Amino acid sequence: MIFTPIHTDCTIKLTRLNIIGKKPLWKKFIFHFFVREWEKVLFCVRKVFFKDFRPPSMTGFLGEYEATLDAKGRFLLPAGFKKQLAESAGEQFVLNRGFEKCLSLYPMNEWQPIFERISKLNDFDPKVREFRRYFLNGATICELDSAGRLLVPKNLMSYASLEKDIVLAAATNKIEIWDKGKYQEFFENFSPGSFSDLAQQVMGGGDNNISI
């Protein structure tokens, strides 16, 4: 017996069993065939109607990773941070001095609004000129190479006292790059009590009245 299913590109030869009490094979085939087809339909429906119902992505970075500088001053950007990059970030970054003895790594899409804001400050104010000079002097555009590495210029390495072992720590819209020893020393000298007082000062009043 030749049975041709709905799909015209396949012809399946089936032998019908004429045994009392047994379901013919062709009926079993039809049942399983349509079950599989409905599974495909349901999968497509789920893919079409539910693909946009995902938790909203978080803006900024979270995490802390260790890395190593090679002889040329390059380090591999951790995969954990690469996954958190916005689609609009691209592969270009700006590496700059941090406010402490560390470096700040900005994705280009995060650096641009900061630069635009600084460029609009009053140039006739000596404090503005001083801040702009210090903040922008040393800021360097860097790009991921084919191996996913970033190069730290020697002047910035010297500023942050980077040697070999470094720590990359999330800082909302940027990543701080620390010498591993100095990073550990920073937290060792910062007691839980000091952190509690700081949290109260920063987050405890005004518009920052948020429970943490």
Give residue limits of the domains in the chain. 2-50, 64-190
pTM more than 0.75: no
CA-to-CA distance for 170 and 172, rounded, in angstroms?
6
Q: What is 64-190's CATH number? A: 3.40.1550.20
What is the pLDDT averaged over residues 186-207?
A: 79
- C-alpha distances in Å from residue 11, one per residue of 1, 4, 78: 11, 5, 53
Least confident stretch, 72-86, 128-142, 183-197: 183-197
63 phi and psi angles, rounded to 5 deg: 125, 170
pLDDT of residue 197: 84
Residue 109 near residue 116 (C-beta atoms within 8 A)? no
Residues 6+ apart with CB under 8 A from 3: 11, 12, 13, 14, 26, 29
177 contacts 171 by C-beta, under 8 angstroms? no
Name the pLDDT band for 32 (thresholds 50, 70, 90). Answer: low
Query: When comparing pLDDT for 182 and 25, which is higher?
Result: 182
List the one residue out of 154, 159, 153 whose CA is nearest residue 141: 153
pLDDT band at 119 (very low <50, low <70, confident <90, very high): very high
Q: What is the pLDDT of residues 154-178, one digit of tens each?
A: 999 999 999 999 999 999 899 999 9
Distance CA 91, CA 144 (A): 6
Residue pair 153/73 in contact by the 8 Å Cβ criterion: yes
